[in-house]
Each structure stands twice: as C-alpha cells, then as structure tokens.
Chain A
Amino acid sequence: MTADVEVLGVSHRFGEVAALRDVTLSIGAGRFAVLLGPSGCGKTTLLSVIGGFLFPSAGRVRIAGRDVTGLPAARRPTTTVFQDYALFPHMRLGANVAFGLRMRRVPRAEREARAEAMLRLVGLEGMAAKMPHELSGGQRQRVALARALAVEPEVLLLDEPLGALDLKLRRQMQDELKAIQRRVGTTFVHVTHDQEEAMAIADEIVVMNAGRVMDQGPPERVYLRPRSRFSAAFMGEANFVPVRLRREGDGIAILGPFGTHPLPAERLADPAATGGRAELAFRPEHVNLGDAPPGTLDLGEGTVRDIAFSGSHRRARIALDALDGGEIVAYLPQAMEVSATARLRLHLDPARAILLPAEDGESRCGG
C-alpha cells in the first residue's frame, strides 16, 4: 500500500506565529522523504497537517489524489510514529501492535498473527507478551513502527523517531528504517533536524526554515547543488563569498575577489538571475591545494589560522589574502600535517562551485 502526497499552498498559524507559510510540495508514492530543518522551522507542524492532527489555516492536502484536508487522522490512509513513541503503557506489545486492526474489527486470530508478523519485521520476534516498560528505548521505537505499519497505511509519518536514541543506535536504526521502507514500499515521511540522518535515509529531502520550504530534491542534488543559501549552510558546511554576475556568451562570468572567471550557466541555482549580485558557495572538501591549473578557480594564497583533526580529514580555517584576511573553511587530507601558521595556495574546481542568488543582509564568509 502506497500513495503520493501533495501539499498545496498550506499555511498555518498558532495565534500570532506563522508556523507554515504557503508550503507546496509533492512526494511520490513509495518514496522515503525527509523533512529537514532546525527546531521551530515548521517541519513537525507540516507532519501534523499531513497526518490530520492539525487543520491548516489555508491550503489543501491530497493523498493518492484524494483531498483529505478536512479529514481527521483516523480517516486518513496515514499513520504516525510519534517522537515519544506513545505506546499504550497498559497493553502488551501484541495488543499495542494489533490495536489498529482491532479498531478495524479484524478477527482476533488474524490480528494476532499479523501483530506477530509485524514484530518479526522490526526484529522483535516472540516478544508479543512483554509490556512496554520492559523495553529499551530502541525497542520501543521498533514497536511504535510495527504498530503504525500493522494497519498497512499508504503513508507512514515519522516524527523525529530517532531523536531520543543515542548516536550509535540512531545510525543503526536509520539503516533498519530504510530497509523496512524498501520492504513494505509504503511512502515514508520522516521529520528530523539531523542532516546526516536525512542524507543516510532519504530518497528525497525537503529542507525547511521559518515555515517555508527552502529546497527539495534527492540528497545528492540538495547537497551538491543547493537552491538556497539556507539549505547550503544547513546541509553540512559551506563557504560563501559575495560576487557579481555578468552574462558572457552561453555562460556567465563571476566578478569578485578572485578576479573574473567564466562559469557554465548550469551552476546557477536560479537560471533567471544572470545579472547583478550573487553568492559563490563551495564546500570545504572541494577546496584543492597547490597552484591553480588552467580552467580552475584560483583562490590565491592564505594563512592557516587553526587546524583540527576530524578523523577522515583535517578541518582548517584559512584566512585568504583575496578576502583581506576573511576566513574560509577547507578540509585538508588526513595525511597532510600542516602547522597553524602555514601559507597555502588554494584553488577550486568550477564544476563544484555553487552560485546562489544574493540574499539581503550581510554576506559573510565561512560557516
């Protein structure tokens, strides 16, 4: 059972606070979508609107093409895995998982068999007679998942389901969640503020901030070609340098601290904005060392301000001469030992550069 989800122009206010502002997005059937953003960005509100726990001030929600905006949670083809799991504390695991089937008047024998199958799916085989308080956090999380999946929803909503688990268990549960989603084929909509988690499990990431969708797409696209400064900064680290744009033949040229440099037009996040101010963004791992070969973007020389060993790489803050001492972050190879005052020469593959429309307010470097 699976279905697509469409959210059309949804806005929601809590008193004076606008939690969602004109949100439109669509999630394909059978996809694993992740709503990603900082706390208070509206992602949980959006999940509640899809699940039928909140009725939006404006806009429509469609599931499998059917308008469900006014339907309560019970009459939607969705179920929710709550952040605190919300297991029924007085029922055994079997009864917890079978609850939805009981509400649908499935005969006892059938629902017990089905509950056992669901517990097996989440790796809790033979534990149907246990009580929720006998379980660990990770196990409760699995029960909540089994309970929500037992009624075969078309869309499963997960509200920060891994938030209460410690890091190691969280990474392990991510893999399991993804495997289970592949197995059942249900559309999953999962809320988190952890971008690593989002990239690990999502087919599709929806980046949200301040009640708006800032970006939506597959993890790779959202990471490598973010469409807004916010999503570039939220999905991992990025450096931002203000530049000006000029149309030049088929492509464009950037004018800025690093001189004038031609770039292919597809590097623009917003193809319409080919004139005026923009921001050049690049990831720390895309900064290369040494003299700039022809065709690359020369960042010039800089002084290492600070360097820290991060396991897979060394994270360096480097003050660039071209930025009058403004700092960027670069990931240097693990094997390279650099002292804290070393001078380095840096360049950038233009294929890795991102051009974002300039946002109002100060443009800062780094971060």
Chain B
Amino acid sequence: MAAVRAARRQRLRGFAFVLPALLWTAAFFLLPFAFMVAMSLWRRVGGRILESWTLENYADFFGRPHFLEGLANSLEITLTVTVISVLFAYPLAWIIAEKVPERWQRAALMLAVLPFWTSYVVRSYAWLLVLAHDGVVNRALLAVGLVEAPLVLASTRTATVIGFVHFFVMLLTLTIYANLRQLSPNYARAAADLGAGPVRIFLHVILPLTLPGVMVGAFLTFVLAIGDYVTPQILGGNNELVLPQIIMLQIGRRADLPSASAMAIVLMAVVTLVYFACARWLRLERA
C-alpha cells in the first residue's frame, strides 16, 4: 500500500530528527552509566582495578559506620533544608503574588531570585565571608551585645544548611509563585462568596490547590541538595561529611573509582526511592 509506505517514510524522517539527540544521550549518559555500574562491581586492590565481579564495594558501604553516617548526614541536612526552604519561600511567593501590585510583580520576583544566577561556588564563598569568625554576622551580634564571644558558624552543619536554604528559597519562590499565579482568582472569590474568611480560603482552597506544585519544588530541592558537593565542602568543612563529599574523597585522595561508583549508585537509589515514595504527590508526568 502506498499509504503504508508513505507512513513509514514519514516515521523514518521524523526519527532522523530525533536520532542525533538520542545518540548523544546514549553515548554520553547511558553508556557512562553502564561503565559506572560495571566499575562499581569491580575492586580496587593495591593501586590497580581488578576486573572481577563482586558486590564488596556495596558490602563495604553498608558495613562501615563512617559511610552510613555520611548517608545519614546527607538525608538529615537535605530534609532540614527542604522543609525550612518551603516554609520561607511560600509566604514570600504568596506575598508577591497577592499583595504586590500586578505591574511590580515581575520585578519583585526577578529581584528575589537574582542571586540564584550567581555561580554556586562564589555563592558558598560569599556565605563563608558572612559567617566567618570576624565576619559581618559575628561583628553585628557582638556590637548589639547578643553574644559575648564570636560564634563558630563557618565549617558547621548550620553553615551548610544556611547556604542551601539561601539557594532553595529562591528556587522555590519561583516555582511556588508560578503555581499561585496559575490559580484562577475565581477559586478564592467563590470561597469568599460562600462565606469563607481569608484564613479558611487559604487553608481550604489555596493551599490544597498549590500543594502538588510545592511538592514538585520540594522534590527538586531534595534531589539537588542531596547530590551537591560544593556547598557542604565550602561551608560545612570536613566535620560532618555528606555522601557527595565522601564520594569525592574516594575519587580524589584515594583514586578508588569502584567504591566511588558504588556510592554514587547508592545515592541514585536513595533519590529514586524518595521519588517513588512521594510519586503520588508528584505529578511530574502530564497525562
């Protein structure tokens, strides 16, 4: 049939457009992943990589408190950061969407997220300046007499959390604002019309309707924070290592790629588990 042949020719032509991107992704995303999986099943013994299959890297990871602590630190910090960021960002997004006059909203939003675009290495360094022993925060606290001696802020978990929260408040403000703006104002009007006050409108109408969007933003925060090396390395220092720091140590100091690969895969597995755990709130795929 001519029609069938024409349809196949059409398909081939369409496929030709997609093929370069598919090949690229296969060659530089899927294939490296396969290499990494294979590597995680090998061993580094005496400065050489032994290419025989074993699960020992995984056994090592779950067998050593040091590594498990890293995972626990990662999870604790990430969850703290996610919760605090949402709690800070939601009111800001809401105020911008509801209280700021329409014509200034875009500018207000731009202003709120501008530092988002600075290099994250630079951003972490800037926080180090702020939180340093003689930095502006300590100077200010001493000046008003809130503390007697400078606080130790740098190289702590608190510093890591502050650095992360700074970044993700901006990200979440963007996503939550977009969500709030998508809501038709008629929902709130209908609720008010039926006798709900501002608090109940928010609790029963606005919040439930924006919750899916908030969840997507929170998940994004989780994924980005748990995989980040720079912020904890610069701000947290070497005290309570998180998983990415431990992975980088394996790559750098110990040149142990098999063990680093195994940990990277564990990290991915954790993210995937979290994804499936909250998949019912995350409507990432549109029907």
Contact = CB atoms under 8 A, between A and B. Distances in A.
Interface of A: 55, 70
A7 B3 CA distance: 19
B146 interface: no
Contacts, number: 3
A70 B6 CA distance: 10
3 A-B pairs with least C-beta separation:
A55-B3, A70-B2, A55-B6
B256 to A, nearest CB: 54
A55 B3 CA distance: 8
Contacts of B2: 70
B85 to A, nearest CB: 38
Nearest to B3: A55
Contacts of A70: 2
**Could you say which interface size class chain B belongs to?**
under 10
A157 B6 CA distance: 25
A32 B202 CA distance: 56
A55 B6 CA distance: 11
Contacts of B6: 55
3 contacts: A55-B3, A55-B6, A70-B2
A197 to B, nearest CB: 31
A70 B3 CA distance: 8
Contacts of B3: 55
A44 to B, nearest CB: 21
A150 B3 CA distance: 31
A296 B2 CA distance: 61
Contacts of A55: 3, 6
Nearest to B2: A70
Nearest to A55: B3
B104 to A, nearest CB: 24
A299 B259 CA distance: 96
Interface in B1-40: 2-3, 6
A321 to B, nearest CB: 47
A55 B10 CA distance: 14
Interface string B116-138: 00000000000000000000000
A340 B139 CA distance: 88
A41 B58 CA distance: 63
B14 to A, nearest CB: 16
A207 to B, nearest CB: 30
A277 B103 CA distance: 69
B44 to A, nearest CB: 56
A55 B2 CA distance: 11
A194 to B, nearest CB: 29
B231 to A, nearest CB: 42
Nearest to A57: B3
Nearest to B7: A55
A311 to B, nearest CB: 33
A12 to B, nearest CB: 12
A70 B2 CA distance: 9
Nearest to A70: B2
B156 to A, nearest CB: 54
Interface in B68-85: none
A55 to B, nearest CB: 6
A55 B4 CA distance: 11
B241 to A, nearest CB: 53
B3 to A, nearest CB: 6
Nearest to A72: B6
B5 to A, nearest CB: 11
A15 to B, nearest CB: 14
B224 to A, nearest CB: 35
A306 to B, nearest CB: 31
A22 to B, nearest CB: 18
A55 B1 CA distance: 13
B9 to A, nearest CB: 12
A322 to B, nearest CB: 49
A56 to B, nearest CB: 10
A70 B4 CA distance: 12
A114 B46 CA distance: 81
Nearest to A56: B3
A313 to B, nearest CB: 38
A84 to B, nearest CB: 22
Interface in B92-127: none
A249 B6 CA distance: 60
A55 B5 CA distance: 13
A70 B1 CA distance: 12
